[in-house]
Amino acid sequence: MDIEQFRKAGYQAIDRICDHFYSLRNKPVQASVEPGYLRALIPDAAPQTGEEFENIADDYQKLIVPGLTHWTHPSFFAYFPTACTFEGILGDLYSSSVANPGFNWTASPACTELEVIVLDWAAKLLGLSPAFYNASGVGGGCIQVTASDSALIATVAARSAYQRDHPDARMEDLVLYTTTQTHSLGAKAALVLGLQCKMLPVTKEDRFSLRGETLRTHLDEDIKAGKRPFLLIATVGTTSSGAIDNMPEIRQVAKEYPTLRVHVDAAWAGVVLSCPEHRETCFLDDINEFADSICVNFHKWGLVNFDASTLWVRDRKYLTEALDITPIFLRTAQSTAGTVIDYRNWHLSLGRRFRSLKFWFVLRSYGVEGFQRYIRQGIEQNQIFVKLVENSSVLELVTPPSFALSVFRIAPRPEGKPLTLEAINSLNRFFFGRISARNDIYLTQTMLNDVYCIRLAVGSMLTTAEDIQGAFDIIKKEAELALENWKI
Ligand code: PLP
């Protein structure tokens, strides 16, 4: 493809993307294809000679689009909807066009410098302490691929710090703490690094958040057994119910056990920190005072297209002392002089995408106020759903709503013979089976301790108040049909 052919194909691609957004509302949310559908449609080896791009672009529409689940659909309420803004798409397009692996400052000075600046913008947007700003020269932030990468890196850094301070420690004695509600990223980090992961219990009474006393009891027990607690991954906004671990209590415990580092996974809910009225609920003051690192995924609810996971650390040496390996071919005068950041020492891979561009486009285009408006809109839309559930005789909330997330189930009926928990769970499984058989709405299920429930997460750019009412109508109808048709 030459430049003029690219120009033509590029205009067509943008046209088709716009048409996609215009028609998205009328498409099914979930793809209705069978596993392996694409094998039958695409040859099993690359063509021997090149093909016309026009045909390739047409095949994208014909073969790929039908197999897409539309995460930006107005009726996508599963997992956590992903951010998709036109500014973000354009940022990725420009980024792709410069094909820049940006691993150190000289690889493209603009790439590193923009990231250094926009990460400070983002830290200010969220109200993080200046200790986390790149401008502090001590702490700092960078863009990772995902929250799982951030957790893995925080674990590598905490492990290195622990081993430096305790050279006698055996790796297999190191324990990473999460709760039963922490995203699987904690267990994954431990698995990859060959460390133990202990999932601490949480209760419904505590809204599934980690209490200081639980942490203290387990730390004492493990230390007595010769274990080496070195890291806690605490969460602000768990995946299942949006629970927020009790940071003031954890902060107190962390003071008593100074070798324990704390990483905060605020992958989903972290963006609500942009609204000052939610900072206290998220214990921002405590996080600012004691957390070693914090991760926020802007690619979930934060308007920046996937991938856009941010990681801030209180001390950048925490990362670089664990990850800096500099063979001669990576040495530069600027990094030897210590006048620049080489982000390759802040993450696992060498090369990295120019992701700061899309952050810059989005944050400039929306401004702080536009960003806050968007987050508040998601919370307000969830409140509409909450009110509808609260006024319903069929459904009930299982936990109080968390920002833009509601967790609900068919309420056990007060009349007739009382149902066991097992039976209520089975009824709700049947109910969820009915919802997930539809392709005009998409929700996901979870377990909160032993209670089976269904989650509705608001956040798509296209969702309106009417879509929330529409979703509730579908859910209520399916709940009524489930009650009519379910047999013990
Ligand atoms: N943390 C929480 C609270 C999440 O809800 C999720 C995903 O939904 C993750 C982490 C994982 O995010 P990522 O895909 O960026 O690793």
- pLDDT per residue as tens digits for the range 171-183: 999 999 999 999 9
Q: How far is CA 248 from the centre of its chain?
A: 23
Is 79 touching ligand 1 by the criterion CB < 6 Å? yes
Candidates 238, 296, 297, 305: which one to mutate for ligand 1, based on the most atoms within 8 Å of Cβ? 297
Is 238 touching ligand 1 by the criterion CB < 6 Å? yes
Confidence of residue 454 (pLDDT cuts 50, 70, 90): very high
**How many A from CA of 266 to the centre of ligand 1?**
9
Residue range 99-112: average pLDDT? Answer: 93
Q: Per the structure block, which two tokens stand in for 376?
A: 């508040």
The CATH number of 93-363, from 3.40.190.10, 3.40.640.10, 1.10.1740.10, 3.40.50.970, is 3.40.640.10
Q: How far is CA 372 from the centre of its chain?
A: 18
Confirm if 456 and 395 have CB atoms less than 8 A apart.
Answer: no
Dump pLDDT digits (tens) for 211-231.
Answer: 999 999 999 999 999 999 999
Which atom belonging to ligand 1 lies closest to the Cα atom of 182? 3
**How many A from CA of 82 to the centre of ligand 1?**
11
Query: Is residue 391's pLDDT more than 80?
Result: yes
Query: Is residue 314's pLDDT more than 90?
Result: yes
DSSP string, 406-467: EEEEEPPPSSSSPPPHHHHHHHHHHHHHHHHT-SS-B-EEEEETTEEEEEEE---TT--HHH
H-assigned helices in 298-404:
298-301, 316-323, 333-337, 356-390
**How many A from CA of 132 to the centre of ligand 1?**
21
Pick from 125, 106, 100, 21: which is nearest to 357 by CA?
100
Is 148 touching ligand 1 by the criterion CB < 6 Å? yes
Candidates 180, 239, 307, 311: which one to mutate for ligand 1, based on the most atoms within 8 Å of Cβ? 239
Is 310 touching ligand 1 by the criterion CB < 6 Å? no
Between CA 152 and CA 94, with CA 146 as vertex, the angle to 5 degrees is: 135
Return d(Cα 196, Cα 254) in angstroms, integer.
19
Which atom belonging to ligand 1 lies closest to the Cα atom of 146? 15
Is 78 touching ligand 1 by the criterion CB < 6 Å? no
pLDDT of residue 419: 86
- Angle, helices 356-390 vs 465-485, to 10°: value is 50
Which atom belonging to ligand 1 lies closest to the Cα atom of 80? 8
Dump pLDDT digits (tens) for 350-368.
Answer: 999 999 999 999 999 999 9
**How many A from CA of 296 to the centre of ligand 1?**
9
Cα-Cα-Cα-Cα torsion 469, 473, 478, 480, nearest 10 degrees, comes to 130
3-class secondary-structure state, position 115: helix
Confidence of residue 414 (pLDDT cuts 50, 70, 90): low
Dump pLDDT digits (tens) for 119-175.
Answer: 999 999 999 999 999 999 999 999 999 999 999 999 999 999 999 999 999 999 999
pLDDT of residue 417: 76
Query: Is residue 100's pLDDT more than 70?
Result: yes
Which atom belonging to ligand 1 lies closest to the Cα atom of 269? 3
Confidence of residue 412 (pLDDT cuts 50, 70, 90): confident
Residue range 62-67: average pLDDT? Answer: 96
Confidence of residue 413 (pLDDT cuts 50, 70, 90): confident
**How many A from CA of 50 to the centre of ligand 1?**
39
Confirm if 395 and 479 have CB atoms less than 8 A apart.
Answer: yes
Return d(Cα 263, Cα 313) in angstroms, integer.
9
Pick from 180, 165, 144: which is nearest to 261 by CA?
165
**How many A from CA of 48 to the centre of ligand 1?**
41
pLDDT of residue 255: 96
Residue range 319-339: average pLDDT? Answer: 91
Alpha-carbon radius of gyration of the chain? 24
CA distances from 92 to 98, 113, 308, 336, 381 (A): 10, 17, 11, 31, 29
Q: Per the structure block, which two tokens stand in for 2?
A: 């030459």
Half-sphere exposure of 176 (CA within 13 A, CB side): 30
What CATH code would you report for 3-68? 1.20.1340.10
Candidates 233, 268, 294: which one to mutate for ligand 1, based on the most atoms within 8 Å of Cβ? 268
H or E, element range at 16? helix 3-23
Is 267 touching ligand 1 by the criterion CB < 6 Å? yes
Candidates 155, 180, 185: which one to mutate for ligand 1, based on the most atoms within 8 Å of Cβ? 185
The CATH number of 375-485, from 1.10.287.70, 1.20.1740.10, 3.90.1150.10, 3.40.1500.10, is 3.90.1150.10
Dump pLDDT digits (tens) for 24-35.
Answer: 999 999 998 999
Is 72 touching ligand 1 by the criterion CB < 6 Å? no
Return d(Cα 92, Cα 176) in angstroms, integer.
35
- Please tell me the pTM assigned to this model: 0.96
CB neighbour list of residue 83: distance below 8 Å, 6 or more residues apart? 298, 299, 300, 301, 302, 303, 304, 305, 306, 308, 459, 461
**How many A from CA of 146 to the centre of ligand 1?**
7
Is 265 touching ligand 1 by the criterion CB < 6 Å? yes
**How many A from CA of 449 to the centre of ligand 1?**
19
Q: How many CB atoms lie within 10 A of CB 332?
A: 14
Residue 311: beta bridge partners?
A: 142, 295
Return d(Cα 361, Cα 83) in angstroms, integer.
14
Return d(Cα 197, Cα 186) in angstroms, integer.
7
Domain ranges of the chain: 3-68, 93-363, 375-485
Q: Per the structure block, which two tokens stand in for 322?
A: 């664990």
Query: Is residue 118's pLDDT more than 90?
Result: yes
Pick from 438, 346, 456: which is nearest to 395 by CA?
456
Indicate the average pLDDT of the chain: 96
By the 10 Å C-beta count (0-12 exposed, 13-18 middle, 19+ buried), 404 is classed as buried
**How many A from CA of 369 to the centre of ligand 1?**
26
Between 273-277, 374-378, 483-487, the lowest mean confidence (pLDDT) is in: 483-487
**How many A from CA of 69 to the centre of ligand 1?**
18
Return d(Cα 57, Cα 483) in angstroms, integer.
47
Is 179 touching ligand 1 by the criterion CB < 6 Å? no
Q: Give me the residue label for tokens 């790149």.
A: 134
Amino acid 184 reads S
Query: First vs last Cα of the chain: how many Å apart?
Result: 62
Return d(Cα 455, Cα 346) in angstroms, integer.
35
Confirm if 140 and 315 have CB atoms less than 8 A apart.
Answer: no
Confidence of residue 418 (pLDDT cuts 50, 70, 90): confident
Is 403 touching ligand 1 by the criterion CB < 6 Å? no
Residue range 309-333: average pLDDT? Answer: 94
Confirm if 201 and 179 have CB atoms less than 8 A apart.
Answer: yes
**How many A from CA of 357 to the centre of ligand 1?**
22
